[in-house]
Amino acid sequence: MATTLDYALKTQAPPRHGLVRNFIGGDWVPGDGPTIDVHAPATGEVIARTPLSTAAAVDAAVLAAQRALPGWTATPIKERVQVLFRYRTLLEQHIGELSALIVEEHGKVENEARAEILKAIELTEFACALPQLATGEVLEVSRGVECRTERHPVGIVASIVPFNFPSMVPHWTIPNALALGNCMILKPSELVPLSAGRIAELLAEAGLPPGVFSVVHGSHEAAGALCDHPGIAAITFVGSTSVAKAVYRRGTQNLKRVLALGGAKNHLIVMPDAEPEMTSSNVAASMSGCSGQRCMAASVMVAVGETNAIVARVVEHARALVAGETLGPVISRDAKERIERYITEAEEAGARVLLDGRGVEVAGHEGGFYVGATVLDGVTADMRIARDEVFGPVLAIVRAPDLDGALEIEAASPFGNAAAVFTERGSTARYVTERATAGMIGINVGVPVPREPFGFGGWGDSSFGVGDITGRGSIEFWTRTKKTTTKWNRDAGTNWMS
Ligand code: NAD
Residue 289, in any domain of the structure: yes
Residue 8, in any domain of the structure: no
Residue 451, in any domain of the structure: no
From the CA of 260, how far away is ligand 1's center (Å)?
Answer: 10
Nearest alpha carbon, ligand 1 atom 36: 239
- Same domain as 252, residue 271: no
- Residue to mutate (ligand 1; options 243, 290, 469; most atoms within 8 A of CB): 243
- Same domain as 472, residue 435: no
- CATH code, domain with 318: 3.40.309.10
Residue 1, in any domain of the structure: no
Closest CA to 223 of 195, 264, 183, 260: 260
Backbone angles phi, psi at 304, to 5 degrees: -100, 125
Residue 273, in any domain of the structure: yes
- CATH code, domain with 123: 3.40.605.10
- Same domain as 332, residue 232: no
Decide if 174 contacts 199 (C-beta within 8 A).
Answer: yes
Q: Residue 116 CB: number of other CB atoms within 10 A?
A: 24
Give the binding-site residues of ligand 1, using a 6 Å CB cut-off.
160-164, 169, 187, 189-190, 219-220, 223-224, 238-240, 243, 246-247, 261-264, 295, 389, 391, 417, 458, 462
pLDDT for 194 = 98
pLDDT for 490 = 77
- Residue to mutate (ligand 1; options 50, 189, 338; most atoms within 8 A of CB): 189
Q: How far apart are CA 293 and CA 286, in angstroms?
A: 10
Q: How far apart are CA 193 and CA 214, in angstroms?
A: 13
From the CA of 302, how far away is ligand 1's center (Å)?
Answer: 27
Q: How far apart are CA 315 and CA 382, in angstroms?
A: 23
- Same domain as 99, residue 66: yes
Nearest alpha carbon, ligand 1 atom 15: 220
- Same domain as 197, residue 70: yes
pLDDT for 102 = 98
Domain that holds residue 330: 266-443
Q: Per DSSP, what are the bridge partners of residue 149?
A: 137, 483
- Same domain as 289, residue 225: no
- Same domain as 233, residue 294: no
Helix (H, G, I), strand (E, B) or coil at 180: coil
Residue 111, in any domain of the structure: yes
From the CA of 227, how far away is ligand 1's center (Å)?
Answer: 15
Residue 457, in any domain of the structure: no
From the CA of 364, how far away is ligand 1's center (Å)?
Answer: 31
- Same domain as 307, residue 258: no
Using 50 as the pLDDT threshold, list the residues of the chain that sit under it: 1-13
Q: What is the pLDDT of residues 14-61, one digit of tens each?
A: 789 999 999 999 999 999 999 999 999 999 999 999 999 999 999 999
Number of domains in the chain: 2
Residue 295 a catalytic site member = yes
Burial group, residue 431, by CB count within 10 angstroms (0-12, 13-18, 19+): middle
From the CA of 337, how far away is ligand 1's center (Å)?
Answer: 19
* Torsion angle of the four alpha carbons 434, 440, 444, 446, in this order, in degrees rounded to the nearest 10: -150
pLDDT for 497 = 64
Q: How far apart are CA 159 and CA 405, in angstroms?
A: 39
Phi-psi map region of 175: left, alpha, beta (phi>0 left; psi -120 to 50 alpha): alpha
pLDDT for 2 = 42
- Same domain as 275, residue 250: no
Nearest alpha carbon, ligand 1 atom 14: 220
